[in-house]
Amino acid sequence: MEDTLGTVSSHYARHGALTARILDALKSAGKNTGALGLEDLAPLDQFHLRGHQATRELAAEAGLAPGQRLLDIGSGIGGPARMLAQEQGVAVTAVDLTEAFCRTAAELSALLPEAAAPAFLCADATRLPFAADSFDVVWTQHAAMNIPDKAALYRECLRACRPGGRFLVYDVVEGPAGDPYFPVPWASSPRGSFLVAAPELRRLVLAAGFHELAFRDLTAAALAWNRERQARMAEAESPPALGPHLLMGPEFPQMIANVGRGLEEGRLGLAMGLFAKPD
């Protein structure tokens, strides 16, 4: 287990001096790093399929209300957490396994003018450092695929959520056509990747004790988005200055090519679910 946590966090922390590299890239792209906004960071800090558009759609689906306490699990460098805090007025606590990501998340948040900054903590999602019933909404985008013990993950999500609260999950799932090609953005090899098919994800969340409000296969939307992204990259004279390659290094183009191939061949899928904790 500790071995898996180490494999996963070293996969993400592969490319050092993260905040400095991001700031240099923002300056080179002509951004004023003294007056950054969510949209400036969105090309690089929304580290999941369908980018910031997905986070906004999920926020609308979850029916968030200002003042709610939201826990973002596997928060990366904090893009979704900042967007939810600023646009929805929710009080966000964010946890992530990768220490370097937690540090960069806090450093980037300190550069934004709005004060609704999330609190970032370094912790393992299967052992959350919170009392039971602490949050109105528990939220996770693209983290379960790194977590082998999903029963423990969803049990912790249920425990952290207050009775009547919501749980939102948005994750890459296994497709019917076999294993993905590696590397992918979440894992260099099968050692860090723990995908389940969408029906199994849903079964695990229900088995933890949540009730289902909505569950959708979003693979077609992921495919369309990815084709558009690859077409844009093929047409561009040079690679984009801002993007998740700043986090993941020179292997990133290969990683997204493998995601594209995996989606096209039915090896990967995308699912979202909205659930409630019984009263």
Ligand X SMILES: C[S@@+](CC[C@H](N)C(=O)[O-])C[C@H]1O[C@@H](n2cnc3c(N)ncnc32)[C@H](O)[C@@H]1O
Query: How many whole angstroms separate alpha carbon 81 and alpha carbon 118?
Result: 6
CB of 267 to ligand X, least distance (A): 18
Query: How many whole angstroms separate alpha carbon 262 and alpha carbon 256?
Result: 10
Contact 148, 254 (CB under 8 A): no
Residue 83 binds ligand X (CB under 6 A): no
Range in contact with ligand X (rule: CB under 6 A) among 17-25, 75-83, 161-169, 215-223? 75-83
Contact 134, 128 (CB under 8 A): no
Residue 225 binds ligand X (CB under 6 A): no
CB of 38 to ligand X, least distance (A): 13
Q: Which is nearer to ligand X, 30 or 158 (CB)?
A: 158
Range in contact with ligand X (rule: CB under 6 A) among 18-26, 45-53, 197-205, 225-233? 45-53
Residue 41 binds ligand X (CB under 6 A): no
Range in contact with ligand X (rule: CB under 6 A) among 135-143, 159-167, 210-218, 254-262? 135-143
Residue 141 binds ligand X (CB under 6 A): yes
**What is the size of the binding site for ligand X (CB under 6 A)?**
26
CB of 107 to ligand X, least distance (A): 15
Residue 139 binds ligand X (CB under 6 A): no
Residue 125 binds ligand X (CB under 6 A): yes
Q: Which residues bind ligand X (CB under 6 A)?
A: 8-9, 12, 46-48, 74-76, 79-80, 95-98, 101, 124-126, 141-143, 146-147, 185-186
